[in-house]
Structure 1
Amino acid sequence: MANLPPARLAVPTPADSLLPDAATHLWAQDTAQALLAESVPAIAQPRKPGDWWLKLSAKTQSGSVVPHYVVMTPDGKARAEGDGQPVDMALWSSGDPATVNAAAVQEGPQIAQLLTGIQADMMQQDPHSLMHRAAHIYFAGVTGAPGDGNISLARAFYVALPDNTNSVQTTPKGADFTVRTSVKITNGPAGTTGHPQQHIEIVWHVLAADGKEAGAATQIHDIAAHSLDHEWGEVAAAASEEAAGGVRTIVTNYSGREHTPLPDKASNPKK
């Protein structure tokens, strides 16, 4: 998950866990690790001013223990919540590490989904978000291609990328994303008929506004040796058209502009 509402999500040691003290700390740590596996910037530590945080607790129900989690805003309001799967009461009460870890691993994707919905709701309410305008994409050009590849690929991509939700620009100012393209050609096998081949790899790196890589569209092909040493022609057009689709998908997935918003239900402040 990318572009979360919080810069980080604190996971404090829960007060009402129905676990022994050592296992209570373990639950917070395992939950943070499970969230990191979902690309959520979580850390097991007490909440600090400005932090979004996760309030963990547990309750008994029909002879089992049900883990509970609440996504809390920096001002102490419950933004979203859910339950984990019921677990064996004896194993939970004893602080069995495998049971605690299994609960954390099961909760991770559910919590990440809540955060995705929260992000989408915030984007929906922001008139300047990518839900309401086209993404501004700075194309920084192509390097490493033989022949006229750097120019041909750049021109073709500049034409292929724009649509209703993406615009392309030649300066970095105000860009939501940057695309940098590299081409690498290496000598390949001689080929079954004795004709030498080359291996070409084109990587379209997509960087977010903060410089982090949002993703990369990679194209790998074997070509007749030196067939692109001069003019690229239709090869550039075909490669750029395919890459444009990949870049648009990366921008959509990373920005969350097509995610379903999670409505903000009014709740009382919780400390």
Structure 2
Amino acid sequence: MTVRHIASLAAAVSVISLTGCLDVPHPFRNPGGVASELAHNPPPSRLDVPTPTDVQMKPELAAIWAKDIAAILLQQSVPAIAQPTRPGDWWLKLRTERRGGQIVPLYSIMTPAGAVRATQEGTGVPVDAWSAVDSGAVAQIAHEGADQVVSALSGIQADQMDQDPHSLKHRRARVWFKGVTGAPGDGDVSLARAFAASFRGSEQTIQTSPQDADFTVATTVKLTAGPPGSRNNPQQGIEIAWRVTDSHDKEVGIATQLHDIQAHSLDGMWGDVAVAAAQQAAEAVGEMITRYTGRDVAPIKPPGQAGAPGTAAAGQTKAPPPGG
């Protein structure tokens, strides 16, 4: 999932728009080397989705439900696979409950030991409608269920990071800024200096060495020939890409600034343009890192621990009571 940020950068010589493509943190993705290594209970490398039996639907539709939700989770970067549970794997238990005149889908994240770690509820469906579901209706149910599962996995990882004093929830991220390449004029130097100055005011720590870095930022600038413009006033297209990767060189996201400028207007000093571009880039990079590490995600505590509430209704993230 990407989120686009469109903002204008006011400058004396030109205006450049910022378009940031930001990745949502993924529950199974590494939240940072130290956090992953020291977590008490690391996230699963695979999530099995066995065909459910207690769902009050035909076996062939139950199998489609498991396959559909596994496929949708894969699209959201969760390594789910529709198969029977295997030793050592976390797995997703699909089931339903009848409550009055409705059937309520339930999604339980199960540990390799077979314990319920968290449960989410889907939207209730009238009994008559549930008994008449077809493969198309099952696909719709799976889409909602996949969102619930991703939410639960994010909350589980947030709790793991809460328990780890060395995780990125409890310290600033160390960010190695590799600098800027490809800019005309003094852009490489001006952009780099302005970004470093802006980023020092963020919640992260910028450094000039890759040693122990949690994230890396590398910036490239590209110029392309643009339209002739009015009155023989040629234009150029400029693209500034701020690429963020984690400690395993996996891409976190890219913030890209795009605009048409007067040809060669940036062949000399960048001045205020560099400052404005770097300020908004620093904000976008900081947001990418915050989202990726899941700092703002509410933790889901294991059932039975203090503060662990009941089963979550649709759109919420709450852990079930013991034995739920």
TM > 0.5 fold call: yes
Question: 2-side partners of 1:188 and 1:46: how far apart?
Answer: 56
- One-letter identity of the residue aligned with 1:2: H
The equivalent of 1:246 in structure 2 is 284
**Would you say how many aligned residue pairs link Structure 1 and Structure 2?**
270
Query: C-alpha deviations, 1:119-149, integer Å up to 9, x for none?
Result: 1111111111111100011112222212222
The question of whether the paired residues in 2 share the 8 Å contact of 1:10 and 1:43 is answered with: yes
SS in 1 for 2:113: coil
- One-letter identity of the residue aligned with 1:35: L
Give unpaired runs (5+ residues) of structure 2: 1-24, 29-42, 305-320
Q: 1:164, CA displacement in angstroms?
A: 5.4
- One-letter identity of the residue aligned with 1:117: G
Normalising by structure 2, we get a TM-score of 0.77
Question: 2-side partners of 1:45 and 1:141: how far apart?
Answer: 46
The question of whether the paired residues in 2 share the 8 Å contact of 1:140 and 1:180 is answered with: yes
Deviates more, 1:4-13 or 1:66-75: 4-13
SS in 2 for 1:56: strand
Q: 1:219, CA displacement in angstroms?
A: 0.7
Answering whether residue 245 of structure 2 is matched by residue 207 of structure 1, we say: yes
- One-letter identity of the residue aligned with 2:173: A
Q: How does 1:1-271 map to 2 (within 5 A)?
A: 1-4=25-28, 5-90=43-128, 92-93=130-131, 96-163=134-201, 165-266=203-304
The question of whether the paired residues in 1 share the 8 Å contact of 2:92 and 2:109 is answered with: yes
Report the RMSD for the aligned CA atoms in angstroms.
2.1
The question of whether the paired residues in 2 share the 8 Å contact of 1:143 and 1:183 is answered with: yes
Q: 1:144 to 1:50 in 2, by over 3 A?
A: farther
Question: 2-side partners of 1:159 and 1:45: how far apart?
Answer: 51
Q: 1:46, CA displacement in angstroms?
A: 2.4
Question: 2-side partners of 1:39 and 1:159: how far apart?
Answer: 34
The question of whether the paired residues in 2 share the 8 Å contact of 1:139 and 1:178 is answered with: yes
Q: 1:83, CA displacement in angstroms?
A: 2.2
Q: 1:93, CA displacement in angstroms?
A: 4.3
Q: Which has the higher contact order (CA 8 A, sep 6+)?
A: 2
Deviates more, 1:50-59 or 1:237-246: 50-59
Question: 2-side partners of 1:35 and 1:28: how far apart?
Answer: 11
Normalising by structure 1, we get a TM-score of 0.90
Question: 2-side partners of 1:25 and 1:92: how far apart?
Answer: 16
Identity value in percent: 49
- One-letter identity of the residue aligned with 2:261: I
SS in 2 for 1:260: coil
